[in-house]
Homo-oligomer: A and B are copies of this chain.
Amino acid sequence: MQIGEASAASGVSAKMIRYYEDIGLIPSATRKDSGYRLYVEPDVHRLRFIHRARELGFPVERIRDLLRLWNDRKRPSREVKKLAAQYIAELEAQITRMQGLRDTLKHLADACDGDSRPHCPILHDLAGTHK
């Protein structure tokens, strides 16, 4: 099948399939005489794997590791779990940080009258005039 069909079947845009090939995340596709890329079912399977991992937010470089483990039928599940745990920890850290931002902004917004008067604790805080 050509790249368009592989794209539709995997959920990965043709653009991104070429990109993944470019950065070596997937092997170079075989080509027809015309230069068109050709794919078979296992290729689509791998693309679906990548698509799902991206949906889960794994950065591409981590997907490289996941693919390596996926291809190794004898790998210990310990290694996969470790990668997942690392990523979970990163997510936790980012969530905590964003919750902090949200809380700070909420406090400022709560203290802001939000009426037609110009006084506003939000801008006041941003201006750093309280320090």
Contact = CB atoms under 8 A, between A and B. Distances in A.
A77 B117 contact: yes
Contacts of A91: 98, 101-102, 105
A56 B116 contact: no
Contact of A84 (B53, B56, B109): B109
Interface residues of A, number: 51
Contact of A48 (B48, B78, B127): B127
A69 interface: yes
Interface of A: 45, 48-49, 52-53, 56-57, 66, 69-70, 73-78, 80-82, 84-85, 87-88, 91-92, 94-95, 98-99, 101-102, 104-106, 108-109, 112-120, 122-123, 125-128
A101 B69 CA distance: 21
